[in-house]
Structures are given as structure tokens and as C-alpha cells.
Amino acid sequence: MTILRDLSMLWSLFHILILFMMLYRSRYSRRRTILLTGISMGLVILLNMTGLVQYGARIMGKVFILTCTLPSLIFFWFISKDKNGRFLFTFCLADTVALWVILVTNIADYYFGGGQYVLMFIGRLVLFPLLEWGAVRYIRKPYMELQEAVPNGWGIFAGMTALYYILLAVMGNFPEIITARKQELPAFLLVLVLMPMTYAIIFVSLYRQLLLYQRQQVERILQEQKNTLEAQLKNQQSIRRMKHDMKGHTVTLSGLLAAGQIREAQTYLKGVEEEIDTLLGQYCSNPYINAVFTHYVGKFEEMGAICKMDIQIGEEVLPHMELCQILSNELENACDALKGLPVDQREISVLMKYNRVYLLTRIRNRCRNDLNVARGTIPSTDKKGYDHGFGLITIKEAAESLGGDMVCYTENGLFVLEVMIPIKSFS
């Protein structure tokens, strides 16, 4: 009946991969990830199955950390998007849960199945798909959101899962397999019961972090909307003031023209135009986007920053809600970064360009010399570590909702944030 043992182990190894790949984030496309995983992990599985047939479960149970766990850890670390506690926690979580199923079915088969591997085979055949169904239905979506939203604080959880994995591996297989050490079985069963309870506590803690992050995001969006509305109100007040003053300007211009003082009338009219530009802070024809720029340019001027604006959009119909959200987050992050610099180093440039293919927004601002962000990565939301982390996820989500993308990086002492949205999003 060893064929059932071997088949159950092959089934287990296969489903460990599925469980892990459901929860971790690869830096490659799905197709390439599956191809690389199939080739690399196929060799690892083949090696371990050959060892199981040749040397038996007792020997392979003692060396599987070297023949299976360590090669898998190295491979998945290489292709993983995360290189920190998030990856280690996910890896150890999948392996520990799978090892828990393997050990429980092994013990159940030994004591209740007569050691014929039938109960082991059936148990693993049922439990692994059941775990994957539960992961898809209840865990995967919030867990992916957690990995995206909470970049820090995973180290202690990763350490706990790693210790649990080592504990199960050692207690289950050293110096002999646990079924051969009946006197230690009660303590081992307590560990098996304690592990799910510990994971439940971990997930509750992580879920609370997710709720806190979501609340912070909602508060930030509400603050952005408040700032935008205040800027629009300021614009409306300026327009009312301008309308009130236009009667006087009209009388003055009529008098100059009636007197034949053309040059003086032109000079006066130029002054009126400059006053209107000052009042309205006119950067573009779109009143919503213009209100955002007006609000933040005022903030930059108050802090003594050099602000260069190059807005190349007209009266096109734009998705102003999403764009105002993107711009508000971009400019607020830049404002936070410039506050931490000496006044003579505060500098920002804004480019907004619209053509027949896409809408490009590029914001460059001075940043700390020790800030290093590689292209294609998102800085941490921990403001002690980065000046720009908070709000970047919101920007990316807003851009992706319009079919576009966001990229940020540092170069030559500047933090650069680019958002590109295809023209089809406006139709």
C-alpha cells in the first residue's frame, strides 16, 4: 500500500504550491510565473518523490527541509515581488498549514487507519482542496489587500510562522517520526491545536491594520475633497469680485477710448488681464483641475518653494473626479516632502500634457538625499522612512480605474511621479 503513501505525498507537494501561489505576489506575469514554477518546482518534487521511493518516509522526513523547503524558499524569493517579512510570512504560512495537514493525516492513519495509508490518502485528498476553497473564498482577497496596504510590521509574524514550521518539522520527525514516540504525542497534539489559534490571532491583527489603513484612506480622500471644494469656493469668490470690479473697469476703458487715448486703454486693459489671472490663478480651462492647482500653488508659495507649472490641456472633457483625486494626492505628497527641506531647496515642477493618445501628469520635486526609490516600486507608507509613501496606492488605484498606470522613482535628488492615462478613458 506504499503506493497510496507516495501518491498522497505527491498530492501534498502539488497542493502546497497551489496554496502558496494563491497568496503571494510574483514580480513576473502570471504566465511566466506558472512556467518558471512548473519547471523549478517540478524538479524539486521529482527529487523528493525519488528520495521517498528510494529511502522511505522516515529518512526523507528528516531531510525534507534541505531537499524541499530550502530550494523552494530560494526560488520563490527570487521571483517574488516582496523581499521582506511579507514574503517570508506567506511562504511559512503555506508550508506550515500544509505540514499541519500532512502530520494530522499521518497520525490519524497510524492510529485509526491501521497504518495502511488509506485514511492518509483520503484525508489529504479532501483537506487540501478544502483549504484552497477556504483561502479563495475568505482569505485571498483581504490578504492581497493587506500585502499591498501594510508594508511594515510583518517581521514578527514571519518569525512566528517560521518558528512554528521548524517546531512542527522537528517534533514530527526527530529523532524518529512522531508515531514512534507515543510518550510525546500529547504535547505534539497540543502544538497542533495551538497553531490554528495563533494564526487566527495573527489574521485578526493584520485585518485590523487593513481596517485602519482603509479608514486613513477615507479620511484622506475626504480631506482632499474638502481642499478642492475650498479652492473652488475661493475661485467663485474671486469671480464674483471680478464681476463687481468689471463695471468700474468698463467705465474707465470707455472713457479712455472716448478720449482717443488708445495706448493708455491698452495698458489699462493689460493690467486688468493680469489682475484677473492673479485672482483666478488660471492654469487651465477645466475649473475642477484649475481649483486643485490654485489651492496647492498657493501652499507652495506660502512655504517659499519655487513652483514651475506647464499645463497643456484645454477644454477637453476629462474625468475630473479621478484626476482631482490623483492630483491632490500627488501635490499633497510633494508638499509634505518639501516641508522637510531647507527653504532654498524647495522646488517643484508640474507637467500636465494632453494629446490624441494619452494624458500625462509628471511631478518632480526635491527630496531628501537618502531617499532612494527604484522605478516600478512603491515606497513604504511609513512617513518615517519615506516622504511620499502615503497616498501612492490611492493614486495607483485611481489611475488603474481609468485604464492607466503610475510609476515613481528618484533621480538626481528629485522624486518623480508619473501618471499616464490613455485617451480612450475619456470617451
The pLDDT of residue 183 = 92
DSSP alpha helices (H): ranges in 340-377? none
Q: How far apart are CA 332 and CA 391, in angstroms?
A: 9
DSSP 8-class letter at 425:
G
Q: Are 124 and 8 in contact (CB under 8 A)?
A: yes
Going by C-alpha positions, the residue among 361, 363, 333 that lies closest to residue 348 is 363
124 in Cβ contact with 11 (< 8 Å): yes
Mean pLDDT of successive 10-residue stretches along the chain, which has 427 residues = 87 92 87 91 92 88 90 92 87 93 94 91 95 91 80 83 91 89 92 91 81 75 69 66 73 82 82 65 73 84 91 74 84 89 93 86 91 78 47 83 90 92 71
Domain 293-427 of CATH type 3.10.580.10: no
Supply 51's cell numbers.
Answer: 528520495
What residues does CATH 3.30.565.10 cover in the chain?
Answer: 293-427
CA proximity to 377, closest of 426, 415, 420, 329: 415
Q: What angle do CA 376, 354, 290 make, to 5 degrees?
A: 100
Residue 231: partners with Cβ closer than 8 Å, 6 or more residues away: 291, 292, 294, 295
Quick count: other Cβ atoms within 10 Å of Cβ 67? 16
pLDDT of residue 152: 72
Q: What is the residue-wise DSSP string for 80-127?
A: BS--SHHHHHHHHHHHHHHHHHHHHHHHHHHHHSTTSSHHHHHHHHHH
pTM value?
A: 0.61
Angle at CA 125, nearest 5°, toward 123 and 129? 110
Sheet with 347-354, edge to edge strand ranges:
306-312, 347-354, 358-366, 414-422, 405-411
- Return the C-alpha cell found at 354: 494632453
Cell of 385: 522612512
C-alpha cell recorded at residue 123: 484525508
